[in-house]
């Protein structure tokens, strides 16, 4: 059975894939369906959902179209989540490979730095970084990656430690390849699968951290973010709780989709590797 078919036979994985597909469709179609500034006033303030069909999810305190904000927020969530996770995975894989392959003092120093990053609560680190450098989409992504690269680094190092004693690595040494070339050309690609298996958890964590940062008002002020929307709605929590609840549901479904699809992919590929 092909991995794709096995993936499609797992109901959880399919549900995750559908959720993700909807999210990506929302993110891509946002500028087409809702052109112009989503933060512009679109109607009367605090319109409840399902009252006016030109504003299906109603409006917020300032009369902004909630549905348009939701679509544009999907773009921010996805962009920051993917960028932060990619950065964390790349940095983690490189640091882990260097530490594991070089061993000795290099390993010791790199791992103590990793320890240090794991000792500081990553959310505090992100908070400090954004408050120092200022908040834009890229900075928020870097701030999140600062706290998440350590997991991939540890996994990559552990993998590299087991790979570096293999015969083909010894062979590469014998033919006089440069150690760095061996590390990144021969060892790293073989150490990648378990690192990549972490990616769904990391993307999900990055999306949640971005939401929390923008909830505290530290997100990119020029972008609509779901966290920002939830914070906006907090001021009218008693009278219009839907303003905070709707973007939160979007957030939950997104993270759930990432988990489910990620778990599905890991499981189908793991079984395949187990069989071969």
Partner 1 sequence: MTRALTLLRRRLVGSIFVLLIVVVGTFLLLEAAPGDAVDAYIVSTGGDAGMIELLRHRWGLDQSELTRLANYLWALLHLDLGQSVTFSRPIRDVILERLPNTLLLMVSATALSFGLGSALGIYAGARPGSFRDRFLSIGSLALYAVPGFWLGLVLIVVFAVDLRWLPIGGIETLASDKTGLDRAADIAVHLVLPVSALGFIYLALYLRMMRAGMAEVWRLDFVLAARAKGLSRRRIVLAHVARNALLPLVTMLGLQSAQMLGGSVVIESVFSVPGLGRLAQEAVAARDTPLLLGIILTSAVLVIVINLAVDIAYAFLDPRVGAGEAGA
State the DSSP code for 41: B
Which range binds partner 1 by CB under 8 A, 39-47, 75-83, 121-129, 181-189?
A: 121-129
Taking CB under 8 A as the criterion, the residue among 26, 218, 224, 266 binding partner 1 is: 218
Cα gap 101→165, rounded to integer Å: 10
**65 DSSP β-pair partners:** 59
User: Do residues 146 and 125 make contact, with C-beta atoms less than 8 angstroms apart?
Assistant: yes
Q: How far is CA 71 from CA 32, 51, 137, 216, 237, in A?
A: 10, 19, 17, 21, 22
Single out the segment in contact with partner 1 by CB under 8 A; choices: 21-29, 62-70, 186-194, 241-249. 241-249
Q: How many residues bind partner 1 (CB under 8 A)?
A: 45
What tokens were used for 215?
């909830």
**Does the protein bind partner 1 through residue 128 (CB under 8 A)?**
yes
Q: Provide the minimum distance between the beta carbon of 93 and partner 1 in the complex, in angstroms, as a whole number.
A: 17
Q: CB neighbours of 188 closer than 8 A, spacing ≥ 6?
A: 93, 94, 97, 156, 160
Measured distance CA(110)–CA(122) in Å, rounded: 18
211 binds partner 1 (CB under 8 A): yes
Determine the Cα–Cα distance for residues 192 and 8; give it in Å rounded to an integer.
24
Q: By C-beta, is 34 or 242 nearer to partner 1?
A: 242
Among 78, 255, 261, 265, binds partner 1 (CB under 8 A): 255
Contact between 41 and partner 1 by CB under 8 A: the answer reads no
- Min dist CB 79 to partner 1, Å, is 18
Per-residue x/- marks for partner 1, 151-180, CB under 8 A?
Answer: ------x-----------------------
User: Under the criterion CB under 8 A, does residue 14 sit at the interface with partner 1?
Assistant: no
Residue (of 204, 237, 209) closest to 225 by Cα position = 209
What DSSP assignment string belongs to 49-101? TTSBTTBTT-B-TT-BBHHHHHHHHHHHHHHHHHHHHHHHHHHHHHHHHHHHH
Verify binding: residue 136, partner 1, rule CB under 8 A: no
In this chain, which stretch among 26-34, 69-77, 86-94, 203-211 interacts with partner 1, using CB under 8 A?
203-211
Which residue, 38 or 100, is less far from partner 1 as judged by CB?
100
> Residue 42 or residue 266: which is nearer to partner 1 going by CB?
266
Q: Report the residue from 14, 79, 86, 212 that binds partner 1 according to the rule CB under 8 A.
A: 212
Given a contact cutoff of 8 angstroms between Cβ atoms, the answer to whether 15 and 260 are in contact is yes
Cα–Cα distance list, 175 to 69, 100, 145, 168, 171 (Å): 59, 21, 37, 11, 6
197 binds partner 1 (CB under 8 A): no
Binding site for partner 1 (CB under 8 A): 12, 107, 111-113, 115-116, 118-125, 127-129, 131-133, 147, 157, 204, 208, 211-212, 215-216, 218, 230, 234, 237-238, 241, 244-245, 248, 251-253, 255-256, 259-260
């Amino acid at each position: 059975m092909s991995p794709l078919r096995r993936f499609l036979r797992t109901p959880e994985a399919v549900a995750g894939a559908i959720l993700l597909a909807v999210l990506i469709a929302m993110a891509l179609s946002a500028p087409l369906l809702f052109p112009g500034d989503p933060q512009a006033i679109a109607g009367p303030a605090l319109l409840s959902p399902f009252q006016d069909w030109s504003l299906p999810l109603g409006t917020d305190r300032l009369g902004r179209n909630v549905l348009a904000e939701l679509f544009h927020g999907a773009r921010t969530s996805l962009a920051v989540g993917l960028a932060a996770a990619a950065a964390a995975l790349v940095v983690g894989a490189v640091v882990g490979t260097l530490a594991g392959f070089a061993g000795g003092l290099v390993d010791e120093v790199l791992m103590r730095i990793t320890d240090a990053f794991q000792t500081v609560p990553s959310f505090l680190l992100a908070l400090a970084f954004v408050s120092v450098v200022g908040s834009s989409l890229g900075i928020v992504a870097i701030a999140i990656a600062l706290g998440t690269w350590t997991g991939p680094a540890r996994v990559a190092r552990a993998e590299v430690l087991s790979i570096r004693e293999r015969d083909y690595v010894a062979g590469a040494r014998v033919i006089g390849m440069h150690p760095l070339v061996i590390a990144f050309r021969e060892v790293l690609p073989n150490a990648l699968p378990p690192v990549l298996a972490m990616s769904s958890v990391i993307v999900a964590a990055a999306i949640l951290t971005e939401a929390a940062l923008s909830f505290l008002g530290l997100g990119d002020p020029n972008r609509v973010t779901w966290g920002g929307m939830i914070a906006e709605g907090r001021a009218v929590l008693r009278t219009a709780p839907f303003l905070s609840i709707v973007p939160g549901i979007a957030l939950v479904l997104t993270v759930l989709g990432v988990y489910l699809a990620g778990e599905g992919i890991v499981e189908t590929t793991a079984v395949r590797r187990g069989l071969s």
